Structure 1
Amino acid sequence: MLFITSRMPTVNTEPALNKDFVFDLQNNSSSRSFFCCTRHKKGKYEEIGSMNLLKSLKAAKVRQVLVYIHGFSNLPEDVFAATEELQKLCDKKKSGEVLVLPLVWPCDADLGIIKDYWDDQKAADQSAFTFARVMQRFMEWRNSVEYDPEDDPCLKRINLLAHSMGNRVLRQTLSNWKHYDQPQGLPLLFRNTFMVAADILNESLHKGEAGELISHASRNVIVYYASDDLALRASKVSNLKNGEASRRLGHSGPENMELTPKNVYAVDCDDVNTLYDPPKGHSYFRSGLKKGQPGIVFEHIFETLVSGRVFPNEEYRKSSILSLNKA
């Protein structure tokens, strides 16, 4: 499994590549550098460098790449387990279609969910500086005559799935990328951006707000939300400390769809989220009622990946409700 991380290793061998990359799980500060690695097996990782990772992605016999940004309180092996589940579900639907590439940012290993939450918010914001460098490195590679020549261009479509606080990482990453490297505006990099149980304010995607850049960098932006997501209820209470009284995007969808860019869509998952992830109803985007069997949220994500259309039979539709009765 290929992955990119802003999490520090126990030993940093820069500029040489680290053949025995070991995560420092007690350090949740983001590295200024990013590390491109491969996971050989549980607990065995090797740093391969950005050019080798991009070369491997280009050579992979798949049509699309799905970048996965995980949520808070996930240690690396938690992220890899979720990635493996996503990959197996994709392969089960259509072999050779999608390769899942996780971005691993440094969640906290402390006990206590509230302390973890605040530490992880800080780590998410710090990691955004690092992942903005990932975006810029990719653009430089894609525009390189040496690495991506016109007679052999990389034609893979790039998509992104951000879960929970991973949406904060995404929002801040694009903001930093524009500020430091793309002041004229962000390129249309992602075919689809899936925002699942997003732990950011529900006004974030409105025009003029910080999250509007997500729609600039994406052909489609799909928000999956559920009003009874217990993890986001706790998040709302926690954020009162910072004066954020608004609901979370993953609770209600966009506050006002008329204020969002036209490529933003909302999908209500209230009917299935707690069935797929009892009792919290927060990680409902992978398997359904049975592990290894796709749920209808994943089915919608995958159909959108393949078709490039959120509601292919209804051109002007902007929202929907996912229900087992419709499956």
Structure 2
Amino acid sequence: MLFITNREPKFSIQTKKNREFDFDLKRNAPSNSIYCCERVDKDKYIELGSTKWLKRIKESTAEQILFFIHGFSNLPEPDIFPRTEKLQKLFDEKEKNLVQVIPVIWPCDNDLGIVVDYWDDQESADMSAFSFARALQFFMKWRDEQPDDKQCLKRINVLAHSMGNRVYRETLSVWNKYHLSDGTPLLFRNSILMAADIVNESLGKGEKGHLISESSRNVSVYYASDDLALRASKISNLKNRVASRRLGHSGPENMDNTQHNVFSIDCDNVNHKYDNPKGHSYFLDDGNGKAGVVFEHLFNSIKTGRVEISDKQNRRHTL
């Protein structure tokens, strides 16, 4: 499994191709560097270097790439990699060689409890934007330098979960501010914002998250009002005098103020069925290995490039 991270490794922080890579979990601050790696087994990783890593993606048999940006209080093992494996298994069972899932691992903490860690992870998410923005710029440069007959033509999708949406939003904001002159390019086929732990006006015109709409063909916002993990997030925000609904609780605050390619998908009826009792990670299976309706919906969006909605006028759908 390929992955990219700005978590610092043990020993030297200098990139070294083909060395054993081991996360330094005691360091919770984002690195200025990006490490392009492969997980060859549980707790066993190799640093490939950016050139070899990109070549591996280009030569992959998968038609599309899905970058998975995890949420807060998640560690590589036992959280992020097993979840990525489950996602990959679900995609392969639907259609082999359609999607390759690549986790984007940013440094967060999980040893002090949700409310305490929450603010540390927010800061880490914001600071991670600078290294991931440089990674995006490097990718664009690499892509533009390829001869016409050797271009990487794979479609790229993003699935951001929980606070991973903050990482995604801030990355595009930093990329636009420091690296681009004419706005963000249309780089992503689907941006899937799952149980997003960002304010619900984030996708509105003039907001930072509007860049997600500009850089994507489709933006699917999956939300559930009884998501208990986001209720804990809300408590933490209120405690720190930040009063705003979360995008993953209510969907976009005002659909009329969002770009036409933003779709609002209500998961209230199913989120606890697939993630009991929190109702937060409801985009996988039913606990018995069978794909849930949320996964089926996002799979269809990735497969077809179109988001299934029942209320086309208001760009809304209920699962």
User: Do the aligned partners of 1:4 and 1:34 also contact (CA within 8 Å) in 2?
Assistant: yes
Q: Name the structure 1 match of 2:74.
A: 74
User: Do the aligned partners of 2:34 and 2:131 also contact (CA within 8 Å) in 1?
Assistant: yes
Q: Matched residues in 2 for 1:291 and 1:82: separation?
A: 14
Q: For residues 15 and 84 of structure 1, do their structure 2 counterparts lie closer, same or farther at Cα, with a shift above 3 Å needed? A: closer
Partner SS, residue 221 of structure 2: strand
Out of 157, 160, 179, the position equivalent to 2:158 is 160
Give the Å deviation of 1:113: 1.7
Question: Does structure 1 residue 20 correspond to structure 2 residue 20?
Answer: yes
Q: Name the structure 1 match of 2:278.
A: 280
Q: Matched residues in 2 for 1:242 and 1:312: separation?
A: 37
Give the Å deviation of 1:291: 3.4
Q: Matched residues in 1 for 2:257 and 2:63: separation?
A: 34
Aligned length: 318
Give the Å deviation of 1:315: 6.0
Q: Name the structure 1 match of 2:37.
A: 37
Question: Does structure 1 residue 49 correspond to structure 2 residue 49?
Answer: yes
Partner SS, residue 6 of structure 2: strand
Give the Å deviation of 1:242: 3.8
Q: Matched residues in 2 for 1:178 and 1:291: separation?
A: 42
Partner SS, residue 135 of structure 1: helix
Q: Matched residues in 2 for 1:280 and 1:191: separation?
A: 30
Question: Does structure 1 residue 91 correspond to structure 2 residue 92?
Answer: yes
Give the Å deviation of 1:47: 0.3
The letter for the 1-side match of 2:142 is: W
Give the Å deviation of 1:152: 2.0
Q: Name the structure 2 match of 1:5.
A: 5
Give the Å deviation of 1:12: 1.9
Out of 312, 315, 319, the position equivalent to 1:318 is 315
Partner SS, residue 33 of structure 1: coil
Q: Per-residue displacement from partner, 1:272-321 (whole Å, max 9, x unpaired)?
A: 00111000000000112x33210000000000001000027886561100
Q: Percent identity?
A: 59
Q: Name the structure 2 match of 1:176.
A: 174
The letter for the 2-side match of 1:321 is: T
Partner SS, residue 255 of structure 1: coil
Q: Matched residues in 2 for 1:35 and 1:273: separation?
A: 34
Question: Does structure 1 residue 300 correspond to structure 2 residue 290?
Answer: no
TM-score by length of 2: 0.97
* Cα RMSD, aligned residues only: 1.4
| Structure 1 range deviating more: 135-144 or 242-251 | 242-251
Give the Å deviation of 1:154: 1.1
User: Do the aligned partners of 2:297 and 2:308 also contact (CA within 8 Å) in 1?
Assistant: no
Q: Per-residue displacement from partner, 1:72-128 (whole Å, max 9, x unpaired)?
A: 000012100110000000000000100001000011142222221111111111111
Partner SS, residue 180 of structure 2: coil
The letter for the 2-side match of 1:292 is: G
User: Do the aligned partners of 2:38 and 2:48 also contact (CA within 8 Å) in 1?
Assistant: yes
Q: Per-residue displacement from partner, 1:123-164 (whole Å, max 9, x unpaired)?
A: 1111111111111111011101xxx21012111100000000
Q: For residues 202 and 17 of structure 1, do their structure 2 counterparts lie closer, same or farther at Cα, with a shift above 3 Å needed? A: same
Q: Matched residues in 1 for 2:120 and 2:173: separation?
A: 21
| Structure 1 range deviating more: 109-118 or 5-14 | 109-118
Q: Per-residue displacement from partner, 1:147-188 (whole Å, max 9, x unpaired)?
A: x21012111100000000000000000000001101320000
- Pairing 1:135-214 to 2, within 5 Å after superposition: 135-144=136-145, 148-214=146-212
Gaps of 5+ in 1: 323-327
Question: Does structure 1 residue 124 correspond to structure 2 residue 125?
Answer: yes
